[in-house]
Amino acid sequence: MTDPISRQAAIDAECEVCQIAPKKDRGHNCIYYVHGCKEIECLRALPSAQPEPICINLNEPIKVKLTDWGKEIYYHQYDRINQIAGREICKPSFPKEDENGYTEFQLWCFMELYGEHMGMTLPNVIEPLEIVYAR
């Protein structure tokens, strides 16, 4: 991974092809190399600075704002189990929301419950489409 300081040093160095220092121009920090009387953009591509990876434990608590469809899925999550058992083993309930309308899950529980209900053409189960880590 290239850090921003070494990336800038590489940009400021001479061109490896023509050995000419770069000319910064045009008011938007583009880097150009002067070749005689003609300016062309250097073809040398530098990797962009990458952010540090984030480790996420699947047991970490998250908070989401469920849509009405998401609340309906939550309410009916045990219907199949009750149907197989032939009696009500698990009582349906609506999700508990905090004062801001967020419902808390462990990350893996959220994925297990809503994974099959999420997709490009399916209605959203959370809105906005954000997960808040509740550390």
Q: Which domain holds residue 20?
A: 4-41
Reported as a single tens digit per residue, the pLDDT across 113-131 is: 999 999 999 999 999 999 9
Averaged pLDDT for residues 23-48:
48
- pTM equals 0.60
Pairwise pLDDT comparison (23 vs 63), residue with the higher score? 63
Both 36 and 65 in a single domain? Answer: no
Both 97 and 35 in a single domain? Answer: no
Both 34 and 93 in a single domain? Answer: no
Cβ neighbours of 59 (radius 10 Å): 9
Both 36 and 68 in a single domain? Answer: no
Both 23 and 65 in a single domain? Answer: no
